[in-house]
Structure 1
Amino acid sequence: MDKGFWKAGHPPTLLSAFLYFDLSFMVWVLLGPLAVHIARDLGLTPAQKGLMVATPLLAGALLRLVMGVLVDHLRPKRAGAIGQLIVMAALAVAWLAGVHSFGQVMLLAVFLGVAGASFAVALPLASRWYPPHYQGAAMGIAGAGNSGTAIAALFAPSLAKAFGWNAVFGLALAPLALVFLVYLAFARDSPDCPPAKKLSAYLAVLRDRDAWWFMFFYCVTFGGFSGLASSLTVYFNDQYGLDPVKAGFYTALCVFAGSLMRPIGGALADRVGGIRSLLVLYTLASACLWLVGRDLPEAWMALTALVAGMLWLGMGNGAVFQLVPQRFRREIGVMTGLVGMAGGIGGFLLAAGLGYSKQLTGGYSTGLTIFAALALLAWVGLLSVKQRWRTTWGAVHIAGARV
């Protein structure tokens, strides 16, 4: 990262956006690492387990659009503060009152979706401070907060074993409160925030076919990342008989790989162009997911392939968001919400699909293979728009950056 990057924007806001995103994502996927314990105590089926870990992803996806609207109308900092208070209140109620049925855990899952909607706040909060040629790096650093999913996988199973899984909801409140105070103290809205639009203007962007392409591309990259982050603890437990703590460690390795590579993917896209990066990354990610879907005989083999797959998906997340601000800079709030919504829906489909794949076929191969095919379809789609993008809005003299 060159020195000009740190002078171009507002580092305290970038750090605040990262921390807010990080802890929100930790909570967003919290039911995944706890799923083995919860399913055992509540007597859930494989399909119910898949639906339980997938529901926060779907709720977060839909709420991202709502948060995108709030970002443009209330500005990012205030919208983020509201979201954090709702999540902390939901966790406090779950901790103090307890969760005793599948219905109650599903209700909590919906509220945890508010944490997933942080995506639509943290990225524009950081992005609006930086010029076009630093968008990949800025969005990558803020977006690296998805490493919070690794924190959940690493610590939640051990805490559940020591204190009970319901206590984990209360323990999560401490770091959330600390980050909330940091956020209030250091985050600042950019003076370049565009004026709020009428609600009809948010629907207008959907008439642009490029918006749908970006939604599909992120549905694959972030959908793969978030769906696997929520499901891998259950996968390693079911497929290889690992205990929840060890399965959580394996999941954390995979998620750390994807999270740490997101800013690298954004910076790489700044250097060589987001399109070129994504063409390579979709190919590699598809190959890794297809390999895992072949039911590898040893857990370490699956772990190796999944770490590699998450690396490419994480880099792909950064590359997609190097492109989005170039095409929709004035609509970045609503586009972040729309693209983030599509990513969450992709995660829901993958996580729920893995659960149903296990219940209907006895394994996870079908679900993984279908998603690998979806990554190849994204590759074909990107190839089909490459020439048009590079000769219209993506021309260097227009975008001000490589696409």
Structure 2
Amino acid sequence: MTAPSSAPAPPSPGTGPSPGRGGRWIQEWDPEDETFWKEKGERIARRNLLFSVLSEHIGFSVWTMWSVLVLFMGPEYGLTPADKFLLTSVVTLVGAVVRVPYTFAVAIFGGRNWTVISAAMLLIPTIAAFTVMEPGTSFSTFLLVGLLAGVGGGNFASSMTNINAFFPLRKKGWALGLNAGGGNIGVPVIQLAALAIIGAGGGPRVLLGIYIPLILVAAVLAALFMDNLENVKNDTGAAKDAARDGHTWIMAFLYIGTFGSFIGYSFAFGQVLTNQFGRTPLQAAYLTFIGPLLGSLIRPLGGWLADRYGGARISLYNYVGMGVATAVLVYASMQKTLALFVPVFVVLFVLSGLGNGSTFKMIPGIFHAKALARGLRGEDAAAYGRRLSGASMGLIGAVGALGGVGINMAFRQSFLSYGSGTGAFVAFLVWYAACFVVTWSVYLRRPAGRTPASEATTEKKPQLSYAEV
């Protein structure tokens, strides 16, 4: 890996900078060409994946830092449990909304350029939180600073859109799973850092002070070692086409069940332990990182399993597991059995991570299947699939993250109404059942008794291949 030199040098074929554009631009990129991929494509793609993961990892840490900061905020801060759930809901909401513009920023600025910009932007919420984090600060001020932290949630969308363009279809499940998993692991890392700081008697400003230089490192490394792809153009038509396609919204619904669960539980787990089971912040911190850690580590496995057996099949079985785990949590919550509640909640985290990998692998597979149904082959089919899957990922990621808002609001209402999280878990159980039904009926059920007239080519071919996506 070499940093770009200021001295002029002959560009390697297909990877030189485009005239009139700053930054590192690759003019030609065809990962579906096996010769190209083996000779230089894979090396370049893996390098960009590595530094994309780093930047997204820091972004997730900044986005979810309030799940940790609220544990530091004792009675002297004057916040009720409902206030804290509202605060984390606002942070999650902003992180979901900004995913849409972040997706298209890759095409406007370039993947490498936007990674540098978005990483540097993380300094704003981190420094702001460092400034206001003390007793006596008003709740409205905390809400405002929490809004700023939402930008960390956008890094996921731009990173996934960018990496999706670098890898061939046969590698997307693994690559997207690794990219997302490496980012997701920013959640348990910041929780582990908080555990160490709380245990050492430190305060929240120590934690925030650690992340400021890390943000700078991520931005500098992205600038030195990442690339922009010339063929990823700003295509507003792709956004419109993706928004009009029903599969975008079906996958968004399913992604609420997986990623919405992961990010929602990441924000809420510690608060449930302190409010329902009477754990101290330190005791809660000892437990809260385990679920997000395992859920992050297993996400690439979900993508790999989807590459091998089909994302729809893996997702279907995964929703069954999530439903069973949630049913057990309802019982553990009603009985207030912490010894059962914690390990099953961790299992639910693991399943949400596995499902994150399998559902996101389905997206490029679905649009590639539609390309084949239109009669496209080879690079034309791959380009069609990249165009729509890249555009849809921002929408799907945004809606999925909104599930985290719903989870925190459901917990807030459940604690206000019943004094526990039991009511919220019942609602989640119903949602997982709905995800199971949708996955089976749309992507796995074989229609029976269809007439020849109803089997239009544009519908028949994708239906036959959806089980493999």
2:186 is matched by which residue type in structure 1?
G
- Please tell me whether residue 340 in structure 1 is matched to residue 397 in structure 2: yes
CA drift of 1:39 comes to 5.1
CA change 1:360–1:158 in 2 (3 A) is: farther
Which residue of the other structure, out of 359, 362, 371, is the alignment partner of 2:428? 371
* TM-score, normalised via structure 1 length: 0.92
2:322 is matched by which residue type in structure 1?
A
CA change 1:97–1:305 in 2 (3 A) is: closer
Q: Which residue of 1 aligns with 2:350?
A: 311
Given that 1:32 and 1:53 are in contact with CA atoms closer than 8 Å, whether structure 2 keeps it comes out as yes
Match of 1:174, SS? helix
CA drift of 1:394 comes to 6.3
Q: Distance in 1 between matches of 2:214 and 2:83?
A: 29
- Please tell me whether residue 302 in structure 1 is matched to residue 341 in structure 2: yes
1:273-323 Cα deviation digits (max 9, x unpaired): 001001100110121122112215432311110111111110100011111
CA change 1:377–1:368 in 2 (3 A) is: same
Given that 2:160 and 2:176 are in contact with CA atoms closer than 8 Å, whether structure 1 keeps it comes out as yes
Given that 1:35 and 1:49 are in contact with CA atoms closer than 8 Å, whether structure 2 keeps it comes out as yes
- Please tell me whether residue 321 in structure 1 is matched to residue 360 in structure 2: yes
Which residue of the other structure, out of 207, 225, 234, is the alignment partner of 1:186? 225
Q: Distance in 1 between matches of 2:38 and 2:406?
A: 41
Q: Distance in 2 between matches of 1:367 and 1:332?
A: 32
Q: Which residue of 2 aligns with 1:288?
A: 325
Q: How many residues align?
A: 396
| Structure 1 segment 155-194 matched on structure 2, within 5 A | 155-160=193-198, 162-193=201-232
- Please tell me whether residue 122 in structure 1 is matched to residue 159 in structure 2: yes
Given that 2:59 and 2:152 are in contact with CA atoms closer than 8 Å, whether structure 1 keeps it comes out as yes
Larger radius of gyration: 2
1:209-239 Cα deviation digits (max 9, x unpaired): 1111011011110000000011111111122
Match of 1:159, SS? helix
Q: Which residue of 2 aligns with 1:83?
A: 118
CA change 1:258–1:347 in 2 (3 A) is: same
1:149-196 Cα deviation digits (max 9, x unpaired): 111222224425633224432222122222222222222234542x21
1:23-61 Cα deviation digits (max 9, x unpaired): 111111111122132253321122211111121111010
Q: Distance in 1 between matches of 2:390 and 2:75?
A: 41
Q: Distance in 2 between matches of 1:159 and 1:203?
A: 47
364-373 vs 158-167, which moves further: 158-167
| Structure 1 segment 256-275 matched on structure 2, within 5 A | 256-275=293-312
| Structure 1 segment 145-164 matched on structure 2, within 5 A | 145-160=183-198, 162-164=201-203
The answer for unaligned runs of 5 or more in structure 2 is: 1-36, 368-384, 447-457
CA drift of 1:208 comes to 1.1
Q: Distance in 2 between matches of 1:120 and 1:15?
A: 16
Q: Which residue of 1 aligns with 2:408?
A: 351
* TM-score, normalised via structure 2 length: 0.79
Q: What is the percent sequence identity of the aligned residues?
A: 25
Q: Distance in 1 between matches of 2:339 and 2:231?
A: 48
- Please tell me whether residue 234 in structure 1 is matched to residue 271 in structure 2: yes
CA drift of 1:95 comes to 1.5
1:244 is matched by which residue type in structure 2?
P
CA change 1:103–1:381 in 2 (3 A) is: same
| Structure 1 segment 53-132 matched on structure 2, within 5 A | 53-98=88-133, 100-132=137-169
CA drift of 1:74 comes to 1.6
Which is richer in helix? Answer: 1
CA change 1:271–1:4 in 2 (3 A) is: farther
The answer for unaligned runs of 5 or more in structure 1 is: none
Given that 1:50 and 1:356 are in contact with CA atoms closer than 8 Å, whether structure 2 keeps it comes out as no
Match of 2:279, SS? coil
1:402 is matched by which residue type in structure 2?
E
Given that 2:173 and 2:307 are in contact with CA atoms closer than 8 Å, whether structure 1 keeps it comes out as yes
Given that 1:50 and 1:353 are in contact with CA atoms closer than 8 Å, whether structure 2 keeps it comes out as no
1:110 is matched by which residue type in structure 2?
L
Q: Distance in 2 between matches of 1:266 and 1:390?
A: 26
Which residue of the other structure, out of 135, 139, 149, is the alignment partner of 2:172? 135
Q: Distance in 2 between matches of 1:97 and 1:363?
A: 30
Q: Distance in 2 between matches of 1:391 and 1:307?
A: 40
Given that 1:281 and 1:312 are in contact with CA atoms closer than 8 Å, whether structure 2 keeps it comes out as yes
Q: Which residue of 1 aligns with 2:19?
A: none
Q: Distance in 2 between matches of 1:283 and 1:268?
A: 16
Q: Distance in 2 between matches of 1:225 and 1:346?
A: 9
CA change 1:228–1:6 in 2 (3 A) is: farther
2:188 is matched by which residue type in structure 1?
A
CA change 1:74–1:333 in 2 (3 A) is: farther
CA change 1:392–1:109 in 2 (3 A) is: farther
Given that 1:228 and 1:347 are in contact with CA atoms closer than 8 Å, whether structure 2 keeps it comes out as yes
Q: Distance in 1 between matches of 2:225 and 2:129?
A: 30
Q: Which residue of 1 aligns with 2:26?
A: none
Considering Cα pairs closer than 8 Å and 6+ residues apart, tell me whether 1 or 2 has the greater RCO.
1
CA change 1:111–1:73 in 2 (3 A) is: same
Q: Distance in 2 between matches of 1:127 and 1:61?
A: 19
CA drift of 1:101 comes to 1.7
CA drift of 1:105 comes to 1.2
Match of 1:118, SS? helix
Q: Distance in 2 between matches of 1:316 and 1:390?
A: 26
Given that 1:5 and 1:134 are in contact with CA atoms closer than 8 Å, whether structure 2 keeps it comes out as no
CA drift of 1:62 comes to 0.4
- Please tell me whether residue 45 in structure 1 is matched to residue 80 in structure 2: yes
CA drift of 1:4 comes to 7.2
Match of 1:242, SS? coil
2:321 is matched by which residue type in structure 1?
L
- Please tell me whether residue 381 in structure 1 is matched to residue 434 in structure 2: no
CA change 1:93–1:151 in 2 (3 A) is: same
- Please tell me whether residue 402 in structure 1 is matched to residue 468 in structure 2: yes
1:60-112 Cα deviation digits (max 9, x unpaired): 10000011121222222222222222221221133135451211111111111
1:331-358 Cα deviation digits (max 9, x unpaired): 3333121011011100111012112211
